[in-house]
């Protein structure tokens, strides 16, 4: 089984983002960037499937600026076999990413594509579902457990009310949720080995995809600030405040 896994370069989850003063976006210059945490889970799952003998090849794909190569290298150090980088400085919306990935899927013919359920920058939660739609493949979103059975896949999904299990036929698109696995740290020897693994580079035009944005970002502003309140000394004081001041209990 051949697996394609998408990895996005995002502002590290520990960084407190700052809105640019001109209101065009958030400050990303000189900010620590990392692989989107849900995509780490995707790579980990793919590598585990390979280690279990279910998968034969794991390809990591990233789309965006030149530095996305670093994100691909991280995936290679975790155990992916090779990388694909779609190089562009343009802003890519989820629909454009899904179209570009469809073009890659058409070339590579993987049996499964794994993506994170959402990227922690735009929080869109769309790309996997869109890719599945464009391919006409079934989707297993927000997966917390995957079991491959020949030409089908049992997927346990995290839904608002609990868990849902579905069975989907392969090829299919999977998006990862938090509890699917705990991603490994790449070891130093594997980081060194990753430097020798191949990364193919191409441009959106090579794939025949128009990536013109459909959304215009009018402005980006700070959210309304919430002011801290008071400290209370005792539980009794807390209850008194909740009953008589806030009147919520």
Partner 1 sequence: MAILVVAEHDNDTLKASTLCTIAAAKVLGGDINVLVAGENCGAAAEAAAKCEGVTKALHADGSHLAHQLAEDLAALIVSMAGDYSHILAPASTFGKNVMPRAAALLDVQQVSDITSIEDADTFIRPIYAGNAMAKVKSKDAIKVITVRQTAYDAVAEEGGSGTVEQIGAGEDVAGSEFVGQELSKSDRPELTSARVIISGGRGMQSGDNFPMLEEIADKLGAAVGASRAAVDAGFVPNDYQVGQTGKVVAPELYIAVGISGAIQHLAGMKDSKVIVAINKDEEAPIFQIADYGLVADLFKAVPELNEELGKIEVRK
Which residues 86-105 are close enough to bind partner 1 by CB under 8 A? Answer: 93-95, 98
- Examine residue 141 and tell whether it contacts partner 1 (CB under 8 A): yes
150 touches partner 1 by CB under 8 A? no
| Residue showing tokens 């370069």 | 9
Measured from the CB of residue 194, what is the shortest distance to partner 1 in angstroms?
A: 27
- In eight-state DSSP terms, residue 227 is P
C-alpha span between 54 and 182 (Å, rounded):
19
Structure tokens at 179: 């509890």
Site map (CB under 8 A) of partner 1, residues 176-195, x = contact:
-xxx----------------
C-alpha 72: how far from its chain's center?
13
Q: Is 169 or 187 the residue whose CB approaches partner 1 more closely?
A: 169
Looking at 1-9, 44-52, 73-81, 216-224, which segment touches partner 1 (CB under 8 A)?
Answer: 216-224
Is 31 among the residues that bind partner 1 (CB under 8 A)? no
Q: How far apart are CA 133 and CA 142, in angstroms?
A: 16
CA angle in degrees (0–180, nearest 5) for 144-153-61 = 70
CA–CA dist 187, 170 (Å, integer): 32
CB of 210 to partner 1, least distance (A): 11
| Nearest of 183, 174, 109 to residue 143 by alpha carbon | 174
Interface residue with partner 1 among 44, 47, 69, 137 (CB under 8 A) is 137
Q: Which of 29, 52, 188, 218 binds partner 1 (CB under 8 A)?
A: 218
What does the angle CA 22 – CA 34 – CA 89 come to, to the nearest 5 degrees? 55
Instruction: Name which of 53 and 229 has its Cβ closer to partner 1.
Output: 229
Q: Enter the tokens of residue 21.
A: 């003063």
CA dihedral 181, 184, 190, 195 (to 10 degrees): 80
Rounded least distance, CB 16 to partner 1, Å = 6
Q: Which is nearer to partner 1, 188 or 221 (CB)?
A: 221
Question: Which residues in the 56-75 window bind partner 1 by CB under 8 A?
Answer: none
- Residue 126 binds to partner 1 (criterion: CB under 8 A): yes
215 touches partner 1 (CB under 8 A): yes
């Amino acid at each position: 089984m051949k697996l394609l896994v998408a990895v996005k370069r995002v502002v590290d989850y520990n960084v407190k983002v700052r809105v640019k003063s001109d209101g065009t976006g958030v400050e990303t210059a000189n900010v620590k960037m990392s692989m989107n945490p849900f995509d780490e889970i995707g790579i980990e799952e793919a590598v585990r499937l390979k280690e279990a003998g279910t998968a034969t090849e794991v390809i990591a794909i990233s789309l965006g600026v030149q530095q996305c190569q670093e994100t691909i290298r991280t995936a290679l150090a975790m155990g992916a076999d090779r990388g694909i980088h779609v190089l562009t400085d343009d802003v890519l919306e989820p629909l454009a990413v899904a179209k570009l990935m469809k073009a890659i899927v058409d070339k590579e013919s993987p049996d499964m594509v794994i993506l994170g359920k959402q990227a922690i920058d735009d929080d869109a939660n769309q790309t996997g579902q869109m890719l599945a739609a464009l391919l006409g493949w079934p989707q297993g979103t927000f997966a917390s457990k995957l079991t491959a059975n020949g030409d089908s896949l049992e997927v346990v999904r995290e839904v608002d009310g609990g868990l849902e299990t579905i069975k989907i036929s392969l090829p299919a698109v999977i998006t990862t949720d938090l509890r699917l696995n705990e991603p490994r740290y790449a070891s130093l020897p594997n980081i060194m080995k990753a430097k020798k693994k191949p990364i193919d580079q191409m441009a959106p035009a090579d794939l025949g995809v128009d990536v013109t944005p459909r959304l215009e970002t009018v402005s980006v502003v700070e959210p309304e600030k919430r002011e801290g309140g008071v400290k209370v000394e005792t539980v009794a004081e807390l209850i008194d405040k909740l009953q008589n001041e806030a009147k919520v209990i």
